[in-house]
A and B are shown apart, each in its own frame.
Chain A
Amino acid sequence: MNENPFDITKAVHYTNQQLLDYWVNLPGDSGFEEMINPKSQMPMMIVGGKGSGKTHVLKYYSFSLQKLRYLENNTQSVSNQISEKGYLGLYMRAGNLNAKKFKGKIHTEEAWQAIFEYHLDLFISQISLKVFVDLIKGEPHLLKDQSSICEKIISLFDKWPEDKIPKTLEELLNCFISFQKQIDYKVNNSSLLGLPIEGLDILVTGAKLILGIPKILKEEFVFLKNVQFTYLIDEFENFTETQQKFINTLIREIEAPVSIKIGTRPYGIKTLETFSGGESIRKGAEYEEVDIDGIFRNRPSDYSNFIKQICLKRVSESGFLIKSNEALRNSLEIFDYDNLQKKLLTLKRIGHRSELERKLPIEELKEIQIIFDNLNYNSNFLYEKASYLIFYRSWKKAKSEFEFKKESELISKSLHNFIQGRELKKNKHRKILEKFKYDFIDQLSVENNLPPVYWGLDNFIRMSAGIPRLVLQIMKYTFSWANYNEERPFAMTSKISINSQREGLLQASDWFIKDAQIPGKFGVTVNQSIHRIGQYLQTLRYSNTPPECSISSFRIDKTILSPQNQKTLKFLTEYSYLIKTSDRQDKNLERNDNTYQIIGILASIWGLSLSQRGVPNLNIDLAKLIFDDDDETGKQFKLFINEIDSKYNAPFLKKKSKPNKGKTTETPSNQTKLL
């Protein structure tokens, strides 16, 4: 069995060497270096969803990877290359601090905060000291006498408890470690026995070490003359609100030669307030924000090339001979309409024909036959679907008795004109096919139990909506299935089948839902809402008369939502279930609505489009049905879906309370997983 090139999908599972080996810069004019700008003094919040690659990017600019890169390029010493690059990256993950332990009923929040700040000051400073211990080991000539630097650092403390003054940075580092251990020990014992912390001297306050040590080091080391110390703090979401306030205060007070770049998930910023009178830090003036997901989404071509380069690196590192984007694309089977057409011709019964046969309220067989003769067109099922849509639309619009046979004759005429290229400007078939072609393809697939057409690397990239890990995840499962199906994935002579891609995508969608789960009861509400949105859009798209083409989005005036429902919508966006796309202006109502698209990896669950054209509106009543989470709303939503089903599907029953007759009372059977 071949090794799966996509087995590891998280940067955190990589070693530093692997992080370097798998590094791919963002193509185009502006790569990651320009985006992150590690030597810029301006603090930065790097915001990105789960799997956006924040950790990989932040770690790439950390000292550990700087050193690896500079050693590979051994024309100059590491220190010289740091000097040339102008920055030194000091990476830490907030999660590693276990910052949640600085809370409890034993002390006030203020007291815990003081302990946390002291702990953090010691913790972050250890990272700087370690870097210099390492550097001096590799280049002992950098600093001959370390005792004076130690003295200067010790002078930052309000009180120094040790009788023996450390003479080297390593000894100083060990003191810091021992101070920190003392805090950990006292905090842990206090929570174990339920007793207040006693005898803990806070030896330094106000982040003096975080801000002061770089200044001292800069004075002592010549190569640091033009170098900035860039703290790279990852997983900001792991800090509590008060702890974030402290970091925000640092952002406000930071000065050369120090800067901070913070990595956080979109929902990770709990506050922008500082301890400077509760004022907030100001975007643009005091910090920059880089929205990684947004950048990827706004540069689709660069993003697509970026992902293909990542995939290629992995595939070739695993020993496969695929070397170009083209070869990579070609290694996955892609959708071919001719194949679908041929497959449909082999079927005994075709879904939409059988459906109409059931629904036509005509008893005379001869008349039924004429109608089908007029509507059916074996040479091209897309044309035939256009005829059916025109037919259903007329049926829906009919105010009095609908003349089925007559309408079918008109449609047949329109089709013939279309085929022969006559009167194209007004031709209904032309207009409909221009808009609904891809909807018809998906409908034909679903109605006949064939998979919708989400296949191929380019589609997978679209489905990821700027989150690289999603593509890697789909490829991982797809590769596993291809291996299982003995398809020899990435061998030059074979392609990964649509079947393996379908299974892989199914598994990846399931993974996404589990992975994006929001903790707590609220997570259930959010999950329920996305399922309702999906179900609603699916009901529209797979109806006889879809109101719009390429449905996968909706628009909403957020101001109509209750605060709770606004929160749900916000979370759906922050956890990437929904992607906020361009705002649309409603000219008639003079208001700006926000438009949201279901992320592609989930769109596949409900068979929704990956494009965004038709955008139904969610009015206040519908929004409540979707976002409210009480049991009654759940029942009402089911009734609503039945009403929508009746409204858009023949025989187009209009009265709400009247029980529907026949087969159209049920929601379409394809409302669960379509793949």
Chain B
Amino acid sequence: MSNEIRDAIGTAIADNDIILFMKGSPASPACGFSARTVAMLEALEVPFAAVDILPDPRIRQELSAISQWPTIPQLFHKGELVGGCDIVTEMYESGELATALGAPADAAPEAPAAAEAQPAPIGIENRL
């Protein structure tokens, strides 16, 4: 049932302060735009959950229906869509993203050690 997928996505967005819907995983992105977005979040040293939308086409369908946003990746913060790769890049370069996401002041462009991944609904990789 697609409603179950939609509910799971809604719950994931509500339950995770920062969540990225992407192609592939943070360790193995399957698209350049997803890879760039992951790299910016890692540079800011903010913990984030990640969902791979590729395993089931309904994930992307339902996600776009919820967010009214057609493309992947999609970054959410506190339940709100921050944007896709273009907006995240603009905000990263202006420093807005660090402020908005509450990045540590000493965040350096060096990726932190990855936290352990735990199995979760619709393949959320929890990096909190």
Q: Do A and B bind each other?
A: no
Query: Which A residues have a C-beta under 8 Å from some C-beta of B?
Result: none
Query: Which B residues have a C-beta under 8 Å from some C-beta of A?
Result: none
